[in-house]
């Protein structure tokens, strides 16, 4: 498989990125968003690594995809090298500029409002997690059906497509430039991810797994992670919070019931002392009264 057939060389989206929220009049807002610190840092790292790849990452004997890609791209043959699931996200195909250009445009245009909404740390965690799962999906499927596939996958597309899905859910008023026309982001996402599913299902049905299949496996891995992050994790968090609140309420209720029972027992013992004197108490009753007296003293301190 040559360098031009490398996974992630081709983007799964038939259009381009470019998120524009509508203005107050309902039209497109003209202007470029101001990137947050996390987006700026991610952009700079990707661009710096790409320049380094352009200088050093040339195919040569023993390294058909370049040395950097060979050691830092995610590959089924080196699935245990966990650093690859981070580093591959900052590498791109050096056979052209479209791979990195589209990814960085998507990161900038759609990552910026997402960082503004979530904050720097949560956004970076989300972005890298989507990319990691995209790389894991490629490695797992590569080991299952790849039949010795050992092509390193590179690119930020897993994280970027996670951002696309997140923005489609959280910012439905956004538009994407799609085939030179602005379309609602949810429609664009439906077309993009529907096209990926079509490619994957078609490849599986034919038993033929080309470069676009492998790219889309990683892309959908990132998008699926975003769907879980936005749609499932909040529900789990709410359910856990509700369960914790119920446990706390139950514990408080049991404490009140226990205190009421203890107070009733103390009242009974005091009534017995009043009627029959202290010597009428059993050893257990005396101990209960002593414990109650001690607790009252401690609470009064």
For 125-181, write each residue's pLDDT tens digit. 999 999 999 999 999 999 988 776 788 999 999 999 999 999 999 999 988 877 777
Quote the CA–CA distance of 247 and 238 in Å, as a whole number: 14
Quote the CA–CA distance of 58 and 120 in Å, as a whole number: 35
174-229 tens-digit pLDDT: 888 777 778 899 999 999 999 999 999 998 888 888 888 999 999 999 999 999 99
Does pLDDT of 108 surpass 90?
yes
Q: Name, in order, each residue with C-beta under 8 angstroms of 54's C-beta and a sequence gap of 6 or more.
A: 94
Q: Are 104 and 43 in contact (CB under 8 A)?
A: yes
Judged by average pLDDT, the poorest of 5-19, 87-101, 158-172 is 5-19
| DSSP-assigned letters across all residues of 231-273 | IIHHHHHHHHHHHHHHHHHHHHHHHHHHHHHHHHHHHHHHHHH
Query: 292 in helix, strand or coil?
Result: helix
Give the pLDDT of residue 84. 95
Would you say domain 3-241 falls under CATH 1.20.1540.10?
yes
Quote the CA–CA distance of 1 and 5 in Å, as a whole number: 6
CATH 1.20.1540.10 residue ranges in the chain? 3-241
Looking at residue 228, what DSSP letter applies?
I
Does pLDDT of 115 surpass 60?
yes
| Structure-model confidence comparison of residues 141 and 278, the more confident one | 141
Q: Name, in order, each residue with C-beta under 8 angstroms of 103's C-beta and a sequence gap of 6 or more.
A: 11, 46, 92, 155, 156, 157, 160
Q: Is the pTM of this model over 0.75?
A: no
Quote the CA–CA distance of 200 and 212 in Å, as a whole number: 8
Does pLDDT of 25 surpass 70?
no
Quote the CA–CA distance of 80 and 289 in Å, as a whole number: 65
Give the pLDDT of residue 257. 75
């Amino acid at each position: 498989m040559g360098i031009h057939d490398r996974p992630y060389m081709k983007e799964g989206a038939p259009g381009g990125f470019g998120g524009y929220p509508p203005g107050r009049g309902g039209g497109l807002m003209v202007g470029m968003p101001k990137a947050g610190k996390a987006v700026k840092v991610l952009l700079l790292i990707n661009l710096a690594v790409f320049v380094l790849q352009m200088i050093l990452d040339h195919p040569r004997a023993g390294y058909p995809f370049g040395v950097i890609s060979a050691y830092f791209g995610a590959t089924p043959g080196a699935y245990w090298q966990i650093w690859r699931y981070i580093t591959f996200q900052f590498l791109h195909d050096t056979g052209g500029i479209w791979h990195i250009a589209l990814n960085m445009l998507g990161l900038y245009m759609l990552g910026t409002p997402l960082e503004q909404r979530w904050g720097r740390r949560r956004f970076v965690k989300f972005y890298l997690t989507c990319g990691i799962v995209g790389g894991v999906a490629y490695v797992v499927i590569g080991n299952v059906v790849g039949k010795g596939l050992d092509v390193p996958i590179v690119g930020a597309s897993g994280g970027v497509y996670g951002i696309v899905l997140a923005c489609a859910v959280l910012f439905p008023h956004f538009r994407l430039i799609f085939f030179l026309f602005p379309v609602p982001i949810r429609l664009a996402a439906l077309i993009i991810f529907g096209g990926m599913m079509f490619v994957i299902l078609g490849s599986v049905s034919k038993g033929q797994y080309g470069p676009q299949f492998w790219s889309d496996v990683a892309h959908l891995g990132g998008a699926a992670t975003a769907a879980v992050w936005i749609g499932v994790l909040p529900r789990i968090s709410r359910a856990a919070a509700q369960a914790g609140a119920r446990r706390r309420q139950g514990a408080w209720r049991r404490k009140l019931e226990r205190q009421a029972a203890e107070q009733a027992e103390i009242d009974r013992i005091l009534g017995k002392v009043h009627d029959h004197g202290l010597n009428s108490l059993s050893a257990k009753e005396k101990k209960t009264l002593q414990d109650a007296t001690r607790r009252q003293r401690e609470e009064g301190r």
